[in-house]
Amino acid sequence: MTRHRTIDPEGLGEIPGSHHIVVAQGSTHVYLSGQTPIGPDGTIIGAGDLAEQTRVTFENVKTCLAAAGASPDDVVRTMIYVVGWTAEMFEPLFAGALAAWGEELPTAATTLIGVQGLFYPGQLIEVDVTAVLD
């Protein structure tokens, strides 16, 4: 069951894969720390490959959501940080997200921020998510 509704006010441009406003209803909030393309052994999976790093990162997001009893339908806010962002990076980013989420890809309130660097050398993406339950 979706615990939020989305609003895209008339007169504002479309945001691909996102909405201008998400109104959440529920009493339990789930805040994920920034998820990364780091595997269980502590190494980066998909070094130099944004699509693969995105897939792994979003798989890690799914794992965390499930551990908290949440699903993609519960996601109300997504923050995506990408090293050296350019418009040409959208296609591999979206491909990696679809590979991880498929049709479950949340269309919550989303912000994508280009950054100079992230915590791990070679890390190209980090994603933090907020979900609402109950």
CATH of the domain at 19: 3.30.1330.40
50 vs 53: CA distance, rounded Å: 5
**pLDDT tens digits for range 61-108:** 999 999 999 999 899 999 999 999 999 999 999 999 999 999 888 888
Q: What is the pLDDT of residue 4?
A: 74
What's the pLDDT tens digit per position in 1-51? 566 788 889 999 988 878 888 888 888 999 999 999 999 999 999 999 999
Residue 100 DSSP SS3: helix
Q: In total, how many domains does the chain have?
A: 1
- Domain of residue 87 covers 4-133
- What does pTM read for this prediction? 0.88
